Amino acid sequence: SPTLNQENCGTRNYQGNFTADSRLYEHPWLARFGYKRNGDVTYLFQGSLIHELFVVTTVYVTKFTDYGQLKYVRLGEFNSSTDRDCQIVKSREGETCAPPTQDIAVDVIIVHPMYDAYEQVNNIALVQLSKPAKITPPSVLPICINQNVEPEVAFLLVASWCGRRETGLSQIPKQYIMNHISPRRCRELMKGYSLNQDDNMFCMVLDSRYKSPSDSNLEPNLRGSTGAPVVNTQFDDRIFLVGLLSYGPRYP
């Protein structure tokens, strides 16, 4: 059985603060999913590359059929509106460009055996690729996994292509700092939803720095973020996967 490489993973390519607009190579493990219908492929949602053959995401992503069947995983994507991802580099007064994306067919989808669609518990799935992804740092790299992070006290960050219904999904991944909240507070915010928060789940909200006193429409919206990685930076400056964005009151 495949083993996870916990050495060559989670490399952080930028120091300092996490800007709301992510930068080229900032999340090289981010994957998008291609749904095929009548020859057309639409790429949506996200997952995380954890091994050259496996991407982890939510079950919702694997069962979504509005645009056809899940057929492909795309790796190395940054700006969804361009064929080639490039970014101006001030220090070198030029631009750096990423290799082309890798679009790999899906081989097998493995859903958690205890998944409960009604209560949304164990909402996790592995997507096995039909061939190994080419690990090409800094553009494509697996994320590290840490089972010892305590979300209650950890730094939490979400990265995803997301946005309001009116404006559509962002062209480049957004990244937002999140704050852990108690199960009780979570139930208050999720009134009217079937919520059974088990021991493998945690609840979080956007950090207060994103609040707009005048217009809530100016605040970030995580619609479209299903399957997005919830990550934490460790003392050796690597990035670890600690959870997946499952669902919330305003967005699946």
Condensed to tens digits (0 to 9), the pLDDT of residues 139-148 reads: 999 999 987 8
Top-confidence range, 62-71, 79-88, 189-198: 62-71
Give the pLDDT score at 183.
87
- 108 burial level (CB within 10 Å; 0-12, 13-18, 19+): exposed
Give the pLDDT score at 252.
42
Give the pLDDT score at 167.
82
Whether the Cβ atoms of residue 12 and residue 5 lie closer than 8 Å to each other: no
Residues in CB range of 168: below 8 A, 6 or more apart: none
Residue 83 predicted with pLDDT over 80: yes
Verify cis geometry, omega within 30 degrees of 0, for the bond prior to 137.
Answer: no
The helix (H) or strand (E) run that includes residue 49 is strand 40-51
Name all domains of the chain by residue range, CATH numbers in brackets. 30-129 (2.40.10.10), 144-244 (2.40.10.10)
Average pLDDT score, the chain? 90
- Residue for token digits 């590359």? 49
Give the pLDDT score at 250.
58
Higher pLDDT, 179 or 96: 179
Q: Is 90 helix (H, G, I), strand (E, B) or coil?
A: helix
Whether the Cβ atoms of residue 83 and residue 52 lie closer than 8 Å to each other: no
Whether the Cβ atoms of residue 138 and residue 99 lie closer than 8 Å to each other: no
The two three-digit tokens of residue 161, written as one number: 């292509």
- Mean pLDDT value across residues 127-149: 94
Whether the Cβ atoms of residue 251 and residue 223 lie closer than 8 Å to each other: yes
- Mean pLDDT value across residues 7-28: 91
Residues in CB range of 229: below 8 A, 6 or more apart: 27, 29, 30, 46, 47, 48, 143, 158, 159, 241, 243, 244, 245
- Pick the range with the lowest mean pLDDT from 13-17, 109-113, 204-208: 13-17
Question: What span, in angstroms and rounded, lies between the C-alpha atoms of 127 and 55?
Answer: 5
Residue 251 predicted with pLDDT over 60: no
Condensed to tens digits (0 to 9), the pLDDT of residues 214-234 reads: 777 777 889 989 999 999 987
Q: How confident is the model at residue 1 (pLDDT cuts 50, 70, 90)?
A: low
Question: What span, in angstroms and rounded, lies between the C-alpha atoms of 44 and 225?
Answer: 9
Question: What span, in angstroms and rounded, lies between the C-alpha atoms of 55 and 43?
Answer: 15
